[in-house]
Structure 1
Amino acid sequence: MDQRPEPSDRHLSDRRSDGRPARGPGWRYSRAVLRSRLAAVSRPGWTVAVAALLSAVAAVLINQHLFPYLSINNDEALYRLQAQTLAGGDLFPSAPPSAESYAPWLATVVDGHYVLKYTPVIAGLLALSLVITGGTAAALAFVAAAAVGVTYLVGIELLNDRRAAAVAAWLLALSPLTVLHSAMLLPYLPVLVLSECVVLGLLRGLRTRHRPPLIGAGLALGLAAAVRPYDTVLVLGPLVLWVVCRGARGRRWWVLRWVGTGLVAPVALLLGYNAAATGNPFQLPFALLEPDDKLGFGVRRLFPTDTAHRFGVAEGIAAIGDHLWLLGAWACGGVLLAVLSAATVARRRLSAPALAVGAGALLLIVGYVGFWGAWNAADLWGGTRYIGPFYLMPVLVTLVLFGARGLVDMASAWPRITGLAAGAGLALSAFVLVVALQDNMTFTRRDRDLSNMIATQAGPMLVIVPVDPAFLMHPTSVVSNSPTLDDRVLYAVSRGQADFDVVADHPDRPAYLLRLAIGYNRTLASSSAAQLERLRVVHSASVDVGITASVPAGARAARIEVTGGGRRSSFPVNPDQPLVGRLTISPDGVDTTGLGFRPKVSDVLATKDRSVTLRLFYTPSADGRERLLDWTDLPVRVDSRQAAVRVLVPDSQVGAVGSGVTPTIRLSAG
């Protein structure tokens, strides 16, 4: 009789009968652990998982279908360019010859490359998505899901109630402000997630006495401060102060040590980037282009040629009032959420850390009275009407957390009234979201028409765009280049005689002039008209340039202004008849007699550039205020050796799209 023992599991073959590896005890253990962890997830946690998944899907779909040409916020194109640059292995986009002709939005040229306005933290996340997936959708989905999930976890720490925390997460997910910005390449939602990670890490680290959450809080704090330092100080300052003074309870240096450990890496990277970008580790690139783009009151500019805007306390209060008014509609539940939040505070239903978070939101509101960017966005530009009060994104978190606490309490006391109020709040949010989607789809249709008009031209092409300010990506992201500047369509800003160098640098590309209506796509009421014209260089001893133009019906006065050669001449125009005139350009200057006699002449600063600028003004009968209707540049270069001039003149119009007031000045050679 065989007395050998029965074989144990460890002696069995690690392969199945079909030759494939067998799933042994380790696999079964892992499955058991996974099942146990999933079983431990609460019902509110599962609902939040659904909200996070839906938010991620919505972010991708809205980005692809609503924002294929990005939004009306020009910063999106800047972040995309920065991400593409990082994904290509460079820290800065390279600047070619005639660098200013290809300047991206709010960029400055330093040592043969472009320094962009913002630090590359958000662009780094987008670049990672580009490298792994080839697009930015994965990054958007991740941020959208993280915003919902982290709000839930922060709610548990602050409210000590999973149900209320889940309600807060859903309120954030359903807020039109979150829905729209989850689909944009902008920093406001990612910084919100980072700020919440700081709150979560600090509170969880204090509660569990574990080091990793504190290290994570320091890492998130450093990244958030690198992107939006002012917001980070205002929003998180009260909570950090509470942690240091009260929350640590004898463990202050232990907490600071591990939070500081997390801060080391982002601070070191930020200092290194600043040194590479500005030459000073402690100077951000934000104000490198324009020093007057800063906090506080006084004269403010976004770029060197910008109009001097006088920003005072009254403007700051008006701007933050506009943002708060809009937040009442762009937060899920609107004003009801604010009322519930106030009631929650009044009923003392919040812990000290929660009150510190609320104090941070109030501090942000007060602090933004002194930030002219909010005034620029709400009043000078007006884009907040279409993409929401994005500067108050941190306040939205406080509203949903405090409002969720009040909503759950209200549901326990008055379930029927709560149901009606919640239904009304959801209906308001749905209405605001639908209107916002429709408005932004209108902007997208206009950009699609513009893009299609350009795309119909065959072969590689060079498109020169007269825009003010002289940056690409403005007023639409359609006029953008990749970092390598090797796209089929290459865009350049019109800069007078520098246009000849741009044309000469690309002899294989036919040159076109893209003329956009003043204020193109700025608001729904703005003109979306655009014209595409073929360009040619005329070289002669003198060049006659024909001019035609007209003004809208009902104008009571009009004039055309010609600037060149150190002189500015203004000629009256009969508003009831089309203007037909002529300029003669020679090495001696510009002969304007073809536009009329006895103009008003004034001297302007003379430059080496002999190019001519034409501006057409008109005065409507309705209000009697003169307006700029159209303008264009006529690049001129003097050839002294041959006693001749070169003029870059439109040859023929090859496309026109859009509605509203069209570019009306038409130039032709001969």
Structure 2
Amino acid sequence: MTAMRKGGVDLPPTPSAALGSVPGVSSRHESRRRAPAPAEPDSGPVLPAVPAQRAVWGRAPTGSPAGPGEDALGRRLRGRLAAAPAAARYVAVLAMLSAAAAVVLRHTVFPLLSVNNDEGIYLLHARTLAEGRLFPPAPHPAQSYLPWLGTVVDDHYVLKYTPFVPAVFAASLFVAGSIDPALAVIAAAAVVVTYLLGVELSGSRRVAALAATLLALSPLVLLQSAMVLSYLPALVLLQATMLGVLRGRRLHRAPPVLGAGVALGVAAAVRPYDVVLLLAPLAVWLLVTSAGRCWWLVRWLVCGLAAPAVIVLLTNAAATGSPLRLPFALLEPDDRIGFGLRKLYPADGRHDFGLTDGLSSVGDHLWLLGGWAFGGVVLAAASLAAGVRRRLSAPAAMLGLGGLLFLIGYVCFWGAWNAAELWGGIRYLGPFYMVAVLIPLVHLGATGCAWGAAALVARGRRLGFAVLVPVVAAVVTLTVVVLTGAVRDNLVLTGNDRELRAMLRRLPDRPLVFVAANPAFLGHPTPVTANGPDLDDPVLYAVARGVDDLTVVADHPDRPAYLLRLAPAYDRSPGSPSTARVERLAVRAGDRVAATVAVPAGATPPRSRSARLVLTAGRDRLSIPVDPRAATSLTFTVDDDGLGVDDLALDDDTGSARPGAARKPAVRPTATVVRGGRGTSVAVTLYATDRRGHEHAVDQQILPVRLAAGRAAPDRGGPAVTVLGSVGQVDEVGTGARPPLRVSLADAGAARGGDVTDRRGGEVTQSTRRIGGGAYVPSSTSSPGP
């Protein structure tokens, strides 16, 4: 390679056009020659040879308390540090700062994890592995304690992802009792491996240090370094794979290639789609250009791949029953690559994902990456210019092609569309699916920026600084704006979770909290409502699902039961509602138990044309039209002969015309039969119809009901009906819209013609009150619970 000279200033050398050439490393420590190579322009001053260093440090400091062995070790360490190039020392400091930033962000911005609920999966898996188990145990009833995106297999939960990334955090938990060391190591490793790979790709330590700096200062990397997710570990593994292959090929040494095989196997287990897309062009180039060494490379790569492959096969067999089936598809087979109808979990609505959706998703990610990568737009332009002007080595060019293939491939990935369009979390967590794209972006961008800056300075220092200073200032300003905005948004979301956790921790006596959330998982939509692997935390959470709630209450008689109701869009974004309320629960039993449903005025969307309440119990369904602009209240009776029109009473308060007064609907309830309906619990759902005639569910709440021995032959030796219901609100936090529905026991559970017992521990008295239509219903009242 030769260097060009223009205007008295040296320009970066032009790489050879021959495939397989790797630019010479600008340091004698990376040279393949035995004698020290002369320093290139960007390598800095050449340090004294090793004998000269020994002459300087051969005498121990006077009065040193260290022994001879420790003193010799200190001399060797100081000697190596002094002999290291300045760029390497800079990167070491940068790596330590990145590690510190990860820990600080973890404790300030994400102390309760982020709103990317996948963090809860990795952390639960890590805690399980740290306790010496492969899977979290699943007590009966297993669905009541189901973690986010988990599924039940035999007597344990199978989580969605392979155990490699959780194992890193499990090791940190086992050794230090915290995940902080793992976060720090991953953040530091990302900087160091970027630098080392940059040396292989560009041949310049300064360009490699620039690439490491660009990565470390990217807001996307800063936030991801504080999260328990797989994106940044996958970036480290992908670069380690490329580094080992290129270095082992250049030096013809097996250990780097063996290490690359290990990294490749783990990366393929963690994010296989990313590995295929990003590394495919480089793999093809290696096979074509490694004449005579192809089988040597493949052999050592396969040796490194063996251990991760065996682990994957064994864990797959234990999780899914098949060594070739990943846990990812165990929960929902429609969660896969390609176009068509897609679902994230079984109860999820079917989403029609097409080509235009994929294109818009990748476009949204790239638009955000322009600010979430440090100098993203500038780096993209510099990378393109470096490629056009043939300033890239062949491996770097293949890496750039891999980045383009990655973007094309993600057009077919519906998960990125889900994050961008359906959820929108990439706007305040960053385009996290594009973390792997940072690899070609920072390496090619650093090469292009270094060449472009040298070319500008060659035309004159004033011209160079006149262009470079505004560009750098604009990049720094944009980065600060993006990072401060992201921190602000995530602090809002974290603040909501802090208030929620504080409210739940104020509950007395190790409470049992049923979470009424959609979908029916723990740890969603907030990481606060997640259990540990042993289900022995001070607050035990369970999914509010129906009759199984009565079993959960009976299994934990020492824990008082509560119901947590979250706003339908709780923490979906920083501007979403954050209201959460806690209600005390009690078990009522008798021949009949009455409950009330209250809907406040304005519970439906503002432009709703109509609304209705639907009560469903097994095969019985009652539909009651309600005024979408007025408050509505009704009472229904649960007994052992099903849910009928006669079991429903609408509050008769239509005499008042003031806004918000409870009104009686003009149309009588309609009874229908549900085909294939099952269960005994009562599901109360509020529907609203917009002006275009489209109906959608606004809110739903389930009242757990158990019948003694079926409707046809009730067991007269005990209560015919047992109900778990709310007896009043205890606390509330947050702002914005509240959960619209309130389903509670009617003044302590009115029941016609039968006695009612309250198992809450309060005093029970009998009373009678009039409800709609002039019917008298005996009811019991009790003192409020704690």
* Alpha-carbon distance in structure 2 between the residues aligned to 1:565 and 1:190: 48
Matches within 5 A, 1:340-359: 340-359=382-401
Gap runs ≥5 in structure 2 = 1-62, 457-463, 651-664, 709-713, 747-786
Residues 223-622 of structure 1 aligned to structure 2 (within 5 Å)? 223-246=266-289, 248-414=290-456, 415-416=464-465, 417-552=467-602, 554=606, 556-592=609-645, 593-595=648-650, 598-618=668-688
Pick the aligned partner of 1:637 from 675, 695, 706.
Answer: 706
CA–CA distance in 2 between the matches of 1:140 and 1:147?
A: 11
2:628 partner amino acid: P
Distance 2:740 2:405 in 1: 49
**Aligned partners of 2:226 and 2:482: how far apart in 1?**
17
Contact kept, 8 Å, 2:620 with 2:644, in 1: the verdict is no
Return the letter of the residue paired with 2:404. L
Which range is displaced more, 516-525 or 444-453? 516-525
Query: CA–CA distance in 2 between the matches of 1:542 and 1:600?
Result: 22
Deviation at 1:335, TM superposition (A): 1.2
Aligned to 1:52: 95
SS in 2 for 1:478: helix
Q: Which digits, 9 at most, give the CA deviation of each residue in 1:83-137, with x for residues without a partner?
A: 0000000000011010110011111111201011100110000000001110101
Instruction: Tell me whether 98-107 or 595-604 shows the greater mean CA deviation.
Output: 595-604
Question: Which residue among 16, 38, 42 is the counterpart of 2:81?
Answer: 38
Change (3 A) 1:281 1:82: same
Contact 1:583-1:591 within 8 A present in 2 as well: no
- Report whether the alignment pairs 1:658 with 2:728: no
Are residues 1:23 and 2:41 paired? no
Q: Does the residue aligned with 1:588 lie in a helix, a strand or coil?
A: coil
* SS of the residue 1:94 aligns to: coil
Residue 79 of structure 1: aligned partner: 122
Amino acid at match of 1:528: S
Distance in 2 (CA, whole Å) between partners of 1:423 and 1:468 is 46
79-88 or 641-650: bigger deviation: 641-650
CA distance in structure 2 between the partners assigned to 1:591 and 1:546 by the alignment: 15
Q: Tell me which structure has the larger Cα radius of gyration.
A: 2
**Match for residue 10 of structure 1?**
none
- CA change 1:352–1:144 in 2 (3 A) is same
Query: Which one-letter code corresponds to 1:23 in the other structure?
Result: G
Out of 135, 141, 161, which is 1:92 matched to? Answer: 135
Q: Partner letter of residue 731 of structure 2?
A: G
Q: How far 1:22 moved relative to its partner? A: 6.2
Give 1:559 deviation, angstroms.
2.0
Separation (CA, whole Å) in 1 of partners of 2:385 and 2:672 = 64
Cα distance in 1 for residues equivalent to 2:537 and 2:272: 35
User: Within 1, Cα distance between the matches of 2:549 and 2:678?
Assistant: 14
Asked whether the equivalents of residues 644 and 671 of structure 2 are also in contact (C-alpha less than 8 Å), the reply is no
Residue 196 of structure 1: aligned partner: 239
- The answer as to whether partners of 1:584 and 1:591 remain within 8 angstroms in 2 is no
**1:86, 1:411 → 2: CA distance?**
50
Distance 1:602 1:324, change over 3 A: farther
The root-mean-square deviation of aligned C-alpha atoms, in Å, is: 1.9
In the alignment, structure 1 segments of 5+ residues that lack a partner are 1-17
**What is the distance in 1 between the residues matched to 2:219 and 2:200?**
25
Give the match for residue 127 of structure 1.
Answer: 170
Q: 1:507 to 1:259 in 2, by over 3 A?
A: same
Find the counterpart in structure 2 of residue 9 from structure 1. none
Identical columns (%): 51
Report if aligned partners of 1:334, 1:428 keep a CA contact under 8 Å in 2.
no
Residue 124 of structure 1 aligns with an amino acid whose one-letter code is A
Distance in 2 (CA, whole Å) between partners of 1:501 and 1:313 is 47
Query: Structure 2-normalised TM-score?
Result: 0.80
Between the aligned partners of 1:586 and 1:22, the Cα distance in structure 2 is: 84
Q: Is the Cα contact below 8 Å between 2:320 and 2:327 reproduced in 1?
A: yes
Partner of 1:7: none
CA distance 1:164–1:482, shift in 2 (3 Å): same
Aligned to 1:68: 111
Partner Cα separation in structure 1 for residue 574 and residue 617 of structure 2: 35
Contact kept? 2:621, 2:643, Cα under 8 Å = no
Post-superposition shift, 1:524?
2.1
Q: Distance in 1 between matches of 2:633 and 2:431?
A: 47
What is the alpha-carbon distance in structure 2 between the residues aligned to residue 159 and residue 515 of structure 1?
Answer: 56
CA distance in 1, matches of 2:534, 2:675: 36
Residues 41-70 of structure 1: CA deviation (Å, up to 9, x unaligned): 222222212221111011001011111111
Aligned residue identity for 2:720: A
Letter in 1 for 2:91: V
Mean Cα deviation higher: 390-399 or 405-414: 405-414
Number of aligned residue pairs? 651
Kindly provide the amino acid, as one letter, of the partner of residue 226 in structure 2: A
SS of alignment partner, residue 527 of structure 2: coil
Q: Does 1:164 align with 2:240?
A: no
What is the distance in 1 between the residues matched to 2:345 and 2:529? 19
- The offset of 1:392, in angstroms, is 1.1
Q: Deviations 1:450-475 (Å, cap 9, x if unpaired)?
A: 11111111221100112222111111
Task: Name whichever of 413-422 and 360-369 sits farther off.
Answer: 413-422
